[in-house]
């Protein structure tokens, strides 16, 4: 460990900053790691003695928090003080797609990153290594550098003029497996041009990552590699989802096709599960970023190629909601549908860009009565997600056996699956939570209103058991 590095500060206590810093603290007991955030409520949750209330759910995270919090891992609202104290500052704030202005709908909104850079410029003392952890458009490091450099001229009050080095160190963790991904990364990427700074960060990771997996690149390659990795992964999902539609039309089975192509070592077997479409905070945002970048540099064909990945995903999500409506005799109005899973994937409470949002909204627009279950997503979150663009009423008093016009297009969160299916017309599985694989379909069938349908967009339900229970069954990419 470099003797100079004593204290790390991370701005942004979210899905990336929280777990990443927890693992660094756990693996580097000699370092003092503080995660700061402007959101007081979030910090309070990180500091709660009951670790079951952490602001994000991630398997294995609570154990690390119990081990390290208060020893060398701290969560605080004191952003400025911690910046001043630290030798290395990670920027791990959100970078949502711009909603208005130049690049709206595609470019990332960098206002939070910029504001962090300004705070670092204003409050840091001595030499500080600034690390971009957030996924950023290529050449954002340039913006950060410019802001930091400009501060040198204005900080005449400081006894020592601060100096900075900027690195890009993108995070490749996936939610739900974040701790394992951080502890056993395929690679760690450090981009930069300041050898001392690169070496200092290299030494941090060397505490638990073998050196052949720590890759050094220039700043721009590192920034672009992160966008490219997410674009390639998302492209694989759109590819297999497009094939699922062909399977359904031709009598092929997408699971068999995936197994057959995945055995080719050049293609590989991972990330070939057809589902309800990709969600999560990164894939869409990062591809749109790539599209924006390509357009900016006049690469129209490149932009169109990548935009197609997002368009296919949108089409695929719509395809699923339309298919449910068609199977239920062309109308779901006043019909009760159980939605199993609202998170964008299992083992997380994150719903950002979850396919469930789009699919549920479409079904609500068609007048369905949705009973939504998810073991980790809170009711408040579902409410926020469903009312963003569609002002759908939420009926607190929905009794489980209502089929009438008054409650058309309403939803309710269900906590207990055992009573959820009473008088239901259909069940739609949207997230691959393990508990859904254990559902007793004979019990469910005894509660549902016939003819009843089970729709499995995640291929986690045993078709034989569902059919034996007398239920109609559809699953993604199954043309057989």
Query: How many residues sit in the footprint of ligand UDX (CB under 6 A)?
Result: 41
**Residues recorded for the chain:** 480
When asked if residue 238 is in the footprint of ligand UDX (CB under 6 A), the reply is no
Q: Does 275 bind ligand UDX (CB under 6 A)?
A: yes
Identify the residue among 127, 143, 152, 172 touching ligand UDX (CB under 6 A): 172
**Look-up: residue for tokens 């962090």?**
116
User: Contact with ligand UDX (CB under 6 A): which of 8, 9, 15, 140?
Assistant: 15
Supply the minimum distance, in Å, between the C-beta of residue 401 and ligand UDX: 32
- Cα 19 from Cα 31, distance rounded (Å): 16
Among 125, 174, 252, 302, binds ligand UDX (CB under 6 A): 174
DSSP character for 54? -
CA torsion sign for 406, 412, 418, 424 is positive
Q: How far apart are CA 143 and CA 232, in angstroms?
A: 26
The values of phi and psi at residue 378, to 5°, are -80, 155
Is residue 135 within the footprint of ligand UDX (CB under 6 A)? yes
| Contact flag: residue 42 with ligand UDX (CB under 6 A) | yes
Q: Binding residue for ligand UDX (CB under 6 A) from 5, 65, 121, 237?
A: 237
Sketch the per residue contact string, 340 through 379, with ligand UDX: x for CB under 6 A, - otherwise.
Answer: ----xx----------------------------------
Rounded alpha-carbon distances, angstroms, from residue 382 to 59, 260, 385, 416, 427: 22, 38, 5, 16, 18
Establish if 38 lies at the interface with ligand UDX (CB under 6 A). yes
- The owner of tokens 């590819």 is 239
**Residue 68 among the catalytic residues:** no
Q: Give the contacts of 259 (CB within 8 A, at least 6 positions apart).
A: 269
For 402, other C-beta atoms within 10 Å of its C-beta total 16
Nearer to ligand UDX, 254 or 452 (CB): 254
Q: Does 112 bind ligand UDX (CB under 6 A)?
A: yes
DSSP category for residue 276: S
Calpha distance 463→443 (Å, rounded)? 15
> Which is catalytic among the residues 10, 68, 282, 360?
282
Q: Which residue is at the shortest CB distance from ligand UDX?
A: 14
Residue ranges binding ligand UDX (CB under 6 A): 11-17, 37-39, 42, 92-95, 112, 115-116, 133-135, 171-175, 230, 233, 237, 271-273, 275, 278-283, 344-345
The residues carrying an active-site annotation are 282
């Amino acid at each position: 460990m470099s003797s100079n590095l004593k204290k790390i500060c991370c701005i942004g206590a979210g899905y990336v900053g929280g777990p990443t810093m927890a693992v660094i603290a756990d693996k580097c007991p000699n370092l003092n790691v503080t995660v700061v955030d402007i959101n007081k409520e979030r910090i309070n949750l990180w500091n709660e003695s009951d670790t079951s209330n952490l602001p994000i759910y991630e398997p294995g995270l609570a154990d690390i928090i119990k081990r390290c919090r208060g020893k060398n891992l701290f969560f605080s609202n004191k952003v400025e003080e911690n910046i001043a104290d630290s030798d290395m500052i990670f920027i791990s704030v959100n970078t949502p797609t711009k909603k208005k202005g130049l690049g709206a709908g595609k470019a990332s909104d960098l206002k939070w990153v910029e504001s962090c850079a300004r705070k670092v410029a204003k409050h840091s003392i001595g030499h500080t290594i600034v690390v971009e952890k957030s996924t950023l458009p290529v050449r954002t490091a340039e913006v950060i550098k410019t802001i930091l450099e400009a501060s040198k001229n204005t900080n005449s009050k400081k006894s020592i003029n601060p100096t900075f080095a900027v690195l890009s160190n993108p995070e490749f963790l996936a939610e739900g497996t974040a701790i394992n991904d951080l502890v056993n990364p395929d690679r760690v990427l450090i981009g930069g041009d300041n050898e001392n700074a690169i070496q200092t960060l290299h030494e941090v990771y060397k505490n638990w990552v073998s050196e052949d997996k720590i890759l050094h690149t220039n700043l721009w390659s590192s920034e672009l590699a992160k966008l490219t990795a997410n674009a390639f992964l998302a492209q694989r999902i759109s590819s297999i989802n497009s094939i699922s539609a062909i399977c359904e039309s031709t009598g092929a089975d997408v699971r068999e096709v995936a197994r057959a192509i995945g055995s080719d070592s050049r293609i590989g077997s991972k990330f070939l599960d057809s589902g309800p479409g990709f969600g999560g905070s990164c894939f869409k945002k990062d591809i749109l970023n790539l599209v924006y970048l390509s357009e900016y540099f006049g690469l129209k064909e490149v932009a169109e190629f990548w935009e197609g990945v997002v368009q296919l995903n949108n089409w695929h999500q719509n395809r699923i909601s339309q298919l449910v409506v068609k199977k239920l005799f062309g109308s779901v109005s006043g019909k009760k549908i159980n939605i199993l899973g609202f998170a964008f994937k299992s083992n997380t409470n994150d719903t950002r860009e979850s396919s469930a949002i789009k699919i549920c909204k479409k079904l609500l627009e068609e007048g369905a009565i949705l009973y939504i279950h998810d073991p980790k997503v809170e009711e408040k979150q579902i409410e926020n997600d469903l009312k963003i663009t569609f002002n759908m009423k939420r009926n607190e008093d929905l009794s489980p056996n209502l089929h009438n016009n008054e409650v058309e297009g309403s939803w309710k969160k269900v906590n207990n699956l055992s009573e959820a299916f009473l008088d239901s017309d259909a069940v739609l599985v949207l997230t691959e939570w393990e508990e859904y694989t254990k559902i007793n379909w004979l019990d469910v069938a005894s509660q549902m209103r016939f003819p009843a349908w089970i729709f499995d967009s995640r291929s986690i339900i045993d078709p034989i058991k569902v059919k034996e229970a007398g239920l109609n069954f559809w699953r993604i990419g199954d043309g057989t």
